[in-house]
Structure 1
Amino acid sequence: MKELSQTIENFKNQAISAERKNVLKLLIDFIQEKIDENKEISINFICTHNSRRSHLTQIWAQMAATHFRIPNVYCFSGGTQETTLFSKVAETLTNQGFKVVKIAECENPIYAIKYHENALPIIGFSKKYDHPFNPNTSFAAVMTCSQADGGCPFIAGAQARIPITYEDPKISDSTDKQTSIYFERSLQIASEMFYVFSEIIK
């Protein structure tokens, strides 16, 4: 997918501050430990509504694992509430080169998101973090918003709880900056997830 390759070229050398690298280190350590033990790596990215940031981190983390050929990585997302995958997220990912197809039209639509012609799609829909679709043991719970981190003090089954929070692009909704803000937040998340997996020693 040419457009996606171009998006990756545009952000992969983006500078990440020492402060953010410290934030990301816990996730790097979790993944590295699983690799060293030859175990599957399950990561559940959690946000309040499972509508924006948690989907973006799930999708870019799965893409990064594939890009760096890190095996047995399974990324999921969930919320403290079930809502919908916000349409602007699907539009942003499409514009950045993913193939996004709505496969179920309902109150909570279901999307198939592909980052390679021959890869299994990521299934995207809003769900609670403990939905049966998600892992229930031995996973890292990555809290992508401070509200979910503060409002959900215990995640059953999580082996590790890792706060990696992002500013909500929702702040730009109904403004003329919405497209650029969603684009920038997606690129920020992408660059950080690529940094995480670039640090893994196979």
Structure 2
Amino acid sequence: MLYHKLNKLIETLDTSSISKERQLILKPLIDFIQTKHTSKGIINLNFICTHNSRRSHLSQVWAQTMAHYFDISHVFCYSGGTEATALFPVAANTLEHVGFKIQKLSETTNSVYAISYAENAHPVIGFSKTYDDAFNPESEFAAILTCSSADNGCPFIAGAEQRISITYEDPKAFDNTPEQAEKYRERSLQIATELKYVFLNVKPLEN
């Protein structure tokens, strides 16, 4: 069971607010998950953006959480960048604010975080890395490009079974402004709502 505050938030996310155009963008991800789920295979999702610091981590965490919420098993979510920097602390704070429990496992220029969404589930391990880092799968994964610069800068992603572009505006544009917290929350909730829609539309296995 998800943490209560997080569960209540997900219940309020309105998937009907997603435009038809955006639904078409999300459909390839739904289809990838559905195909793997129907065949009872492993579902590896690697969310990729340039610095693996904001959008890719938000997407990774929300996707893992939604898989748990909708009881879709064998889903393993990862993230990476075209270069490694650090998980931006405001992105972690944004997740903590809505009900995730976050523990910092190391204090370095690229700190490692354990991001928990439920009592009896493995936490998501968050730190910045390249998409082909040893921590991530080498093959049989969907590469989900969450920013246009990574999409344009990665013409080929070795090992990816499928490449899917689902891009988001970067909240980094509002760093060190009065709108920073609001814009990070806004982007996080957009990603959460869209990933709720994705997993909501994965049909359950027939008995």
Q: Where on the TM-score scale, by shorter chain, does this alignment land: which range?
A: over 0.9
Distance 2:186 2:9 in 1: 11
- Say whether the 8 Å CA contact 1:14–1:191 is kept in structure 2: no
- Any residues of structure 2 matched to 1:17-96 within 5 Å, and which? 17-96=19-98
What is the DSSP-based 3-state SS (H/G/I as helix, E as strand, rest coil) of the residue aligned with 2:78? strand
Q: What residue number does 1:6 align with? A: 8
Distance 2:92 2:70 in 1: 24
Distance 2:67 2:14 in 1: 14
Unaligned runs of 5+ in 1: none
Distance 1:172 1:14 in 2: 27
What is the DSSP-based 3-state SS (H/G/I as helix, E as strand, rest coil) of the residue aligned with 2:131? coil
Give every structure 1 segment of 4 or more consecutive aligned residues whose post-TM-superposition deviation is greater than 3 Å: none
CA displacement 1:76-134 (0-9 Å, x = unmatched): 00000000000000100000100011011111100000001121111000000000000
2:133 to 126, 131, 137: 131
Structure 1 118/12 Cα, relative in aligned 2: closer, same or farther at 3 Å?
Answer: farther
- Any residues of structure 2 matched to 1:113-128 within 5 Å, and which? 113-128=115-130
Question: Structure 1 residue 158: deviation in Å?
Answer: 0.2
What is the DSSP-based 3-state SS (H/G/I as helix, E as strand, rest coil) of the residue aligned with 2:60? helix
Question: Structure 1 residue 2: deviation in Å?
Answer: 2.5
- Say whether the 8 Å CA contact 2:15–2:194 is kept in structure 1: no
Aligned CA-pair RMSD: 0.9
Identity within the alignment, %: 56
TM-score after normalising by structure 2: 0.95
Distance 2:22 2:75 in 1: 22
Unaligned runs of 5+ in 2: none
- Any residues of structure 2 matched to 1:177-192 within 5 Å, and which? 177-192=179-194
Question: Structure 1 residue 72: deviation in Å?
Answer: 0.3
Distance 2:94 2:16 in 1: 19
